[in-house]
Structure 1
């Protein structure tokens, strides 16, 4: 059995005036953890994380895995949406991830991800961890490590990169992760609900995504052999909080939720 991972972190979004600060640190942190757990890890950071590079790297990872192998993909960066043209989205929007070259129209849509993940062999375990999203508000949890500076949402409004003539009028709120539940992977760990933001902020002076920071902190406190469900419940002791109103989500097969984390 082989274990492979791809960790993507994008702070730099030229042409959008919407740079982030914690995404590259997120990618480094996920890489260090996964390397320590026996994964062969590849990174795509900032300018290296174009749409073409992301698709190529994900394709290599997915199509190169065989039954019994484990694949983990982490993404930290902006999420966005475009008008749905196929009629398969109840909200009228296709959701997507924002590569480094998003200002050139290079969005990675949920439909494209679904097609890519569907190419995996049967028996390949896939975990997608995505720290990006949209808007919402809940009050709970605790955040003593959080710096007092205001966090920034990891959502890139389409108006910043998509032409005004392509924007629909009167559409309902975006659901950035709406399409990911259709992916062929076993599990999705998302930073928040469909109608919420994931926050880019600082902890003890160091930039990070709030979900990434607390997911790693929660995992460090678990016993060996803990399941993804155990991990998800532990993350819930930190998020949402008063300063970070985001509610992490765990999606996937019931059996997969009980698999040991990153095994």
Structure 2
């Protein structure tokens, strides 16, 4: 008998209220995405973790909390399960964390992408890569 595969999601929205970097629609983006995942793609609400910096939020989307939520999602997954990550908030480009090997060398203008959690503790794309 085949087990039903899980669909797991982590959704993060940062409006940065009260800062000079304030945005106005990121929490709404996350709530709309949650509704779409449940209604259109049959995600179980219990399998969706939502982190926002809304007033009164139980868990804020700090760098550490986002990394923890992603690690927990990966730990819950089994072979064949679907994983989905959605981020709405500021992003930035930073100098490379590790050198890349593109042909003869790295273009000095190349940068790594990072997301900006509500505590401004940047998260790069290298969070869950091995090696």
TM-score normalised by L of structure 1:
0.39
In 2, the alpha carbon distance for the partners of 1:85 and 1:75 equals: 21
When residues 101 and 68 of structure 1 are mapped into structure 2, their CA distance, relative to the original with a 3 A threshold, is same
Any unmatched runs of 5+ in structure 1? 119-263
Who is 2:91 aligned against? 79
**1:187-216 residue CA offsets vs partner (Å, 9 max, x unmatched):** xxxxxxxxxxxxxxxxxxxxxxxxxxxxxx
Who is 1:35 aligned against? 38
In 1, the alpha carbon distance for the partners of 2:17 and 2:67 equals: 18
Who is 1:111 aligned against? 126
Question: Which of 1, 6, 10 does residue 6 from structure 1 map onto?
Answer: 10
In 2, the alpha carbon distance for the partners of 1:31 and 1:50 equals: 20
In 1, the alpha carbon distance for the partners of 2:123 and 2:111 equals: 13
In 2, the alpha carbon distance for the partners of 1:72 and 1:92 equals: 27
User: Which structure shows the higher helix fraction?
Assistant: 1
User: Superposition pairs for residues 184-203 of structure 1, below 5 Å?
Assistant: none
Does structure 1 conserve the Cα–Cα contact (< 8 Å) formed by 2:14 and 2:88?
yes
Who is 1:97 aligned against? 115
In 1, the alpha carbon distance for the partners of 2:76 and 2:115 equals: 23
Question: Which of 46, 50, 65 does residue 62 from structure 2 map onto?
Answer: 50
User: Superposition pairs for residues 242-261 of structure 1, below 5 Å?
Assistant: none
Which structure would you say has the larger RCO, counting Cα contacts within 8 Å and 6 or more residues apart?
2
When residues 85 and 96 of structure 1 are mapped into structure 2, their CA distance, relative to the original with a 3 A threshold, is closer
Any unmatched runs of 5+ in structure 2? 55-59, 101-105
SS at match of 1:30: helix
| Shift, 1:13, TM fit | 5.8
What is the aligned length?
Answer: 111
TM-score normalised by L of structure 2:
0.75
SS at match of 2:32: helix
| Shift, 1:25, TM fit | 0.3
Spell out structure 1 runs of 4+ moving beyond 4 A: none
Who is 1:20 aligned against? 23
| Shift, 1:108, TM fit | 0.2
